Amino acid sequence: MPVKILCDSFLTSGLGHVRRCEKILSFIEKLGVKADLYSHKQNNISAFLEGVGNDDFLITDSYRLNSKDFYLLKEKAKSLMVIEDKEHAKGFYPKNTKIMNFTLNALKHYHYLSKDYQYYLGVGFYPVDIRFVYERPINTENKEVLITLGGSEQKTLKEIVKILENKGMHLHIISPHIPKNPPKNTHYYSPLSPLEFSSLMKFCACAISAAGQTLYELALSQTPSLIIPIASNQIIQSQEFENSGIFKQTSLKTLARDFEKLQIQKNQAWAKNLAFGSELEGALREFLEI
């Protein structure tokens, strides 16, 4: 029962696709099934297609694949699951494709649900990394701030640092680009391992994040956060987190004011109502027919 996972790994696609596919792969392996992860870097799946057999279960996580690509993959493989962040047009995927979207309240953003597909929608299908699940110590004297926008948003990142550098905080910035003369109160980190990232998240009192996969880990670790969406596909997720009372959405114009109001959150009542990942194992067993 070979499982192949194909995910975007372009410079502009961030690490979110790779991280969530690594977690999916880990869950599959815990079920006793062998799985392999393939990076999609060249806008061409012909080489990958050559290695797909009719016994393969395929999982894709890609914005770059087009409708024709999905039909080619489905034609060769035994079964196809796609991970997506927003609904695609009618007929974009071939019939019998499994569709997974673990955006918060994803179901209400799907307007065309077809019997031709099987859907797994909502945070119940989110692949939880247990290293980000912990009780956050409350320390009102903590001056450490985590900033993580992904590797491609340098202009926005510079503006955030400019706004916060004189607030008396220590800024811990995840970025592959380190400026020549960074402010004294800033610390830059290249992309970290999950364990390193988890430790840094726990060390910081609060965070400013884009609306990608990191939002879930910030929620699981109960880190008070502000969201700055950096891509159109992040808007829905950002709004859902705000509407659920988890994190506030901000912008460069309102960041200074919103940051002043950001408090250590002592009431995490919302967390008790969101069962992150509770349905994932069942969905994967169903997909893999085990």
88 catalytically annotated: no
What sign for the dihedral angle of Cα 215, 219, 221, 226? positive
In whole angstroms, how large is the CA radius of gyration of the chain?
20
Residue 127 CA: distances (Å) to CA of 40, 149, 207: 21, 21, 21
Contact 211, 241 (CB under 8 A): yes
Residue bearing tokens 């916060």:
164
Question: Residue type for 105, please?
Answer: N
Q: Collect all residues with Cβ–Cβ distance below 8 Å to 58 and sequence separation of at least 6.
A: 3, 4, 5, 6, 52, 73, 77, 79, 80, 81
Catalytic residues: 17
